Amino acid sequence: MWCTRLLALELLALSPLCQGLLNKKPGDRLGWPELLDHPFVRESAEEQLKREKALADAVELADASRAWKVRAGGNRRPGCVCCLQL
């Protein structure tokens, strides 16, 4: 029962979004700012924190990998002038 109610509420929130996106007149369609601010698409504070943490972790991992390659002499090709300057 509650599942059916929840689905009905989600469909009510989704309907204006679909109408805004599928409008025949391009000038009447939802633009990016309106789309990103729509409750069905808007990122919650928790989701934003999770995304920012994942990005920070990825940057940290990339930096660590880059530092490891330099210490280990990775990506150097024998006889390459560019690689000898590292």
Q: 51 with 37, same domain?
A: no
Q: 35 with 53, same domain?
A: no
pLDDT in tens, the chain (86 residues): 556 776 776 777 778 888 888 888 988 888 888 888 887 788 888 999 999 999 999 998 888 877 666 555 555 556 565 555 54
73 and 67 in contact (C-beta within 8 Å)? Answer: no
Question: Tokens for 48?
Answer: 């934003």
Q: What is the pLDDT of residue 46?
A: 92
Helices then strands, counting H and E runs in the chain, come out as 4, 0
If one counts the domains in the chain, the total is: 2
Question: Tokens for 69?
Answer: 């390659």
Q: 56 with 35, same domain?
A: no
Residues of the domain holding 50: 44-86
Q: 53 with 34, same domain?
A: no
Burial of 29 (0-12, 13-18, 19+ CB in 10 A): middle
